[in-house]
Homo-oligomer: A and B are copies of this chain.
Amino acid sequence: MNRRLLTRLLGVWTCILLPIAGHAVPVYIGSKQFTESVILGELARVSARQAGIDAVHKRQLGGTRILWRALLQGDIDAYPEYTGTLTHELLKNVPANADIPSLRARLKPLGIGITDSLGFDNTYAIGMRADEAKRLGIARISDLRRHSGLRLGFSNEFMNRNDGWPGLRRRYDLPQKDVRGMDHALAYRALASGAVDAIDLYSTDAEIPYYHLRALDDDLHYFPRYEAVYLYRLQLEQNAPGFVAALNGLAGRIDEKTMRGMNAEVKLQGVKEDVVAADFLGLRADADDHSGLWSRLLQRTVEHTKLVLASLGLAVLLAIPLGVLAARLRRFGQVVIGLTGILQTVPSLAMFVFMIPLFGIGAWPAIAALFLYSLLPIVRNTHAGLVGIAPELSESAAALGLPPGVRLRRVELPLAARSILAGIKTAAVINVGTATLAALIGAGGYGQPILTGIRLDDIGLILEGAVPAALLALLVQGMFEGIEHRFTPRGLRLVARQ
């Protein structure tokens, strides 16, 4: 691995990454990683289009913190948010139930604007089967007090959070004893089948109409309000007043039922988000957004390649020095190789999950996870390559009196280049494969159709991801053969006489 190679690689992936940070002329709308947010993002985009404004929707950008930071930095211009998130997570020293005007005042100095409530409050709620609730005459949470025999099933998170079940019980003085934690996905089933009588849910969950549930009225206002709003950069009021008007035009128009219906259309009936949004606005979805196979493929290829090259580039930058250290210091080497080995045993899903608190959701945590996975083959092969240099060559390198750094770069790394490159190639190919899992945390790429295809049992979709992934693996290999051919010193490529 010589220096030029490194520089070259660095160059390539910087070029590919840069556009992330770039900012261009249209208005950029972001959305979070779940259906409702994507629908609201689409609504904003379609409204903008209606107002004749060029808008781009960057879907499923990641977690709250990512969107918030992106908005502050101007990487995006607007995104849908909930007031509860603003008061609880994003702003400091704000009363828990601050209303929108006071939030507006607080956001102004940050250069951020906020619309009025879109019309619904997506907070925690307690849900029951509608027929059962009717039979028992339960409409409000307070009514539960009269039915101490009801069996409650709560998601583990809700069970344990202080502002979940424990607080709720205190506030309403609820008497139920049969309360158990369960997986949220199972909870709906359990409720529908009558195994439990009430569960926690979000008030706009698509499952509410699907299972004929009723969300009980939070009459003591225990749950904080999570009114849906759009946040936007105040600057837009100058640059794109039409867009701000379009956003404000949506305020008050979406009630909980409508939102649930749209969620259900997307989540349960598989209608595309843009179609749902256009329907709501009484338009036909714009055809050009239903991009053809080739443009989908192109986008996924860009995403996938980005993941692979960025993680691999970073891994090369760290793993080669680690491999060098490992070859120099025996003890340290054992430790480094041991640790990178342990990283390999972290199951990919768990690894992605560990990365989320650090990097949010989207490409970066995926890159971080892939980066960690790429270390071992490179570290190990760098170590093996350096340790395997013939002693007479080491000796004559030492005898020149070059400082260790120069000796490393000019003599030792080139002599170990073949082994190092083999490690990088292995890492790259494994990376192409593992990156398909990155779709799990919204990093896109070829994994998206594969995961959807596996879920929907659709071989065509699986192949739509698997085939290009295989081709990319081949391409990456080919590219590296090229690099190897170009950068392995010819002196090392001379073939022996047989």
Report A's interface with B, CB cutoff 8 A: 156, 181, 183, 188-189, 192-195, 210-212, 334, 337-338, 341-342, 344-347, 349-350, 376-377, 380-381, 383-385, 387-395, 398, 418-419, 421-423, 425-426, 429-430, 432-433, 436-437, 447, 450, 454-457, 462, 466, 469-470, 472-474, 477, 481, 492, 494-498
Contacts and interface: CB of A to CB of B under 8 A. Distances in A.
A260 to B, nearest CB: 14
| Shortest beta-carbon contacts, A-B, top 3 | A394-B496, A391-B496, A384-B422
Given A342-B474, A345-B433, A457 B183 contact: yes
Given A341-B429, A347-B436, A497-B398, A492 B388 contact: yes
A377 B433 contact: no
A345 B388 contact: no
A316 to B, nearest CB: 16
Nearest to A347: B436
Given A341-B477, A466-B346, A473-B344, A384 B419 contact: yes
Query: Would you call the interface of chain A mostly helix, strand, loop, or mixed?
Result: helix
A185 to B, nearest CB: 10
A470 B351 CA distance: 13
Contacts of A391: 494-497
A345 B496 contact: no
A205 to B, nearest CB: 13
A370 to B, nearest CB: 13
A355 B380 CA distance: 30
B422 A498 contact: no
A341 B394 contact: no
Contacts of A195: 210
Contacts of A495: 391
Copies in the complex: 2
Contact of A497 (B334, B395, B494): B395
Given A341-B474, A391-B495, A419-B422, A347 B192 contact: no
Given A211-B193, A384-B418, A426-B380, A496 B395 contact: yes
B429 A477 contact: no
Contacts of A390: 390, 496
Nearest to A393: B496
Given A380-B426, A384-B419, A436-B347, A394 B497 contact: yes
Given A391-B495, A398-B496, A496-B394, A466 B345 contact: yes
Given A345-B429, A347-B450, A496-B394, A418 B388 contact: yes
B496 A342 contact: no
A183 B395 contact: no
A337 B477 contact: yes
Contact of A454 (B210, B349, B466, B496): B349
A164 to B, nearest CB: 14
A342 B430 CA distance: 9
Nearest to A337: B477
A473 B492 CA distance: 34
Residue from A376, A384, A457 whose CB has the most chain B CB atoms within 10 Å: A384
A155 to B, nearest CB: 9
Residue from A212, A450, A494 whose CB has the most chain B CB atoms within 10 Å: A450
A376 B477 CA distance: 12
A380 B421 CA distance: 10
Nearest to A353: B454
A481 B334 CA distance: 9
Contact of A183 (B433, B456, B470): B456
Residue from A188, A211, A423 whose CB has the most chain B CB atoms within 10 Å: A423
Contacts of A347: 433, 436-437, 447, 450, 466
A429 to B, nearest CB: 4
Nearest to A382: B422
A380 B424 CA distance: 11
A436 to B, nearest CB: 5
Contacts of A394: 496-498
Contact of A193 (B212, B383, B447): B212
